[in-house]
Structure 1
Amino acid sequence: MKKRGILNSEIATVLSKMGHTDMIVIADCGLPIPDEVKRIDLALEQGLPSFLKTLDVILEDIVVEKVTLAHEIKDQNPTLDLEVKKRFDQQKLNYLSHEELKELTKRAKAVIRTGEATPYANIVLHAGVIF
């Protein structure tokens, strides 16, 4: 058994295969996930696991070059937007419309579906490199 790190085998596998600029999405329980993209469903019930807890665990395991969020989070979920901003340098933040973000998910290696039930709690993480 693994001693530490991500225990979910699907997430660990996807992260280990990611290269520079590859994308992974952490989503709320309502984001439509394209059929052609790997779905890793963690949702247990509304709110569990939370978006932020899932994000924090993923961030312990990968290098992130930039992130993409929906513009709508600024007005519809400003508390979450602030929490995300605390975790990244401002130059790493990129905002698109929610419709554009949904299109971007089609190119992701996987979408991790959380139990989060607050508006626009979706993020695209673009992988960086360790050197």
Structure 2
Amino acid sequence: MVIGDNVFIGMKSTILKGVHIGNNVIIGANSLVNKDIPDNCVAAGNPCKIIMELEEYHEKRKAAQVAEAKELVELYRERYGKEPDEKALHEFFWLFTDGNNELPECWESMMKLGGNYEYTKEQFRKNHKKFKDMEDFLKKI
């Protein structure tokens, strides 16, 4: 068995002898990996099969986060009768900022949670925000 770099293996998965899992792979929980899995994909099932390419999964997750942020804004407006602030939208800060922006403390602290701040900061510098700013996002909802 060979497992590549940057591989996430879901809980209660079984990987059979002689199987090779490539780099940058996500294996879903409870999967039975009985054949080789190539690089850069998401795979799951019993038997395990490729579900999608990693880039497609990434785009799908980004779209889901935009939808989650919109839902949060709508619920916030309904409950509090006002626009959410930076603190309320802290987990979605990457939608409104990129690596060139100065981050408010509540957003900066989110980047420090994982214990790999410098790496996270470097990755964030590559971020391309989805909206001009938070106000632009709120107008579009």
Give TM-score, length-normalised by structure 1.
0.29
Which of structures 1 and 2 has the bigger CA Rg? 2
Query: Which one scores higher on RCO, CA 8 angstroms, separation ≥ 6?
Result: 1
Give TM-score, length-normalised by structure 2.
0.28
Higher strand share: 1
Higher helix share: 2
